[in-house]
Amino acid sequence: MNDNLLKKLEKMYERYNELERLLSDPEVIADSNRYTTYIKEHGSLSKRVNKYTQLTETLAKKREAEGLLTQEGTDKELAEMARDELGELEKQEESIMEEIKGLFITDDKTYAKNVIAEIRAGTGGGEAAIFAADLFRMYNKYAENQGWKVELFDSSETDLGGFKEVTFSIEGKSAYQKLRFESGTHRVQRVPQTEASGRVHTSTATVAILAEIEEVEIDINPNDLLIDTFRASGPGGQKVNKTSSAVRITHVPSGVVVKCLDEKSQHKNRAKAMRILRSRLYELFEGQKRSERDQIRRDQIGTGDRSEKIRTYNYSQNRVTDHRINFSVYNLDQVMLGYMDDIIDALLNYYKEEQLKQLAASV
């Protein structure tokens, strides 16, 4: 039993009971803002308090069973029953503690979100664009393996079949939870298709993973938006649409610009562009709160900033190395086909362990 965690739970239990008293106070009920705030806090504490109640009941039963075992004059049959019960209660205590730890770790309102993903070619010219396309296919395959849905929002293709940039959504259970640590600079080391001498080149592409934010979660003033429409064009400038269906939205106060041209319908492109904008603005506006919440992520796994080199894909060695956790796999060919589970699981497990260390150290 971790004493610091137990103290934290005790404080939450005390606050929970205090909130129950406040929520029945006529003055609080009459103040809609205070009442709503307390209701939300009460709800956020309820799961952990329920588990804490289960834990205290289990600990009380454990003390009772231990008392029977240490009590003089306890007959053998009763002692044997107490010993069996104690074993079961210890397992129950361990199970409840794991559930409580899980509640602390998943205490993030973006945890269960869908994803808005952006991939951009970095250094390396045409090869970087080809690598960006490879990463896009890798995430598509991974999503397919997970039973998730991928929807293309916007892309800028090159003549060689690469992407200067591509934006898309990934919808499905645990999408953001599993992909949240993919943000950053991905580096590839291989002989490019266009390299006649067989010399290995190093190129990069950047990935940004944003939690998709619902309309009700962020307030965007329509007067702050500058909306332009234009005709979409493909590689070499050929026209894809004969009408101005592509949409560009600028959020004037922040300077954030998004565009979408995948659909032939201006209405659909505008809706997709707003989905991207909400996620980008949320990322911008919640930056400070996120930095406090994700202290471990910054220190141990990384900032998620595009400038941070997080992973190398070395084709000659068939190796993928995640530099943040010093973890390598030697099945790059399979990883590029979407079999990323070993890497994803290693990152999630590392993050979980670091959060548990912080939780154990805090009061």
Tokens 């296919």: give the residue.
137
Tokens 């269906």: give the residue.
245
| Architecture of the domain defined by 217-285 | 2-Layer Sandwich (3.30)
Cα–Cα distances (Å) from 274 to 40, 81, 212, 302, in that order, read: 28, 63, 11, 28
The pTM of the full predicted model, rounded to 2 decimals, is 0.67
Cβ 92 vs Cβ 100: under 8 Å: no
Q: Which of 155, 163, 169, 182 is nearest to 121 (CA)?
A: 163
Report the CATH fold assignment for 111-212+296-363.
Alpha-Beta Plaits (3.30.70)
Q: Which of 285, 280, 281, 244 is nearest to 263 (CA)?
A: 244
How many whole angstroms separate alpha carbon 130 and alpha carbon 322? 21
* Residue 66, token pair as written in the block: 């231990």
Residues in the chain: 363
Tokens 């109640």: give the residue.
53
Q: Where are the domains of the chain?
A: 3-105, 111-212+296-363, 217-285
Residue 202 sits at φ, ψ, to 5 deg, of -115, 125
How many whole angstroms separate alpha carbon 329 and alpha carbon 335? 9
Cβ 93 vs Cβ 58: under 8 Å: yes
Report the CATH fold assignment for 3-105.
Methane Monooxygenase Hydroxylase; Chain G, domain 1 (1.20.58)
Q: Would you write out the chain's pLDDT as a tens digit for each of its 363 residues?
A: 567 778 888 988 999 999 999 999 999 999 888 898 889 889 888 988 999 999 999 999 999 888 888 887 778 888 888 888 999 999 999 899 888 877 776 655 666 788 999 999 999 889 999 999 999 999 999 999 999 999 998 888 998 889 999 999 999 988 998 999 999 999 999 998 767 677 889 999 999 999 888 776 778 888 888 988 887 665 444 444 455 788 889 999 888 899 888 777 888 888 888 888 888 888 787 765 555 545 444 444 554 455 579 999 999 999 999 999 999 999 999 999 999 999 999 998 898 888 777 766 664
Tokens 């068939």: give the residue.
318
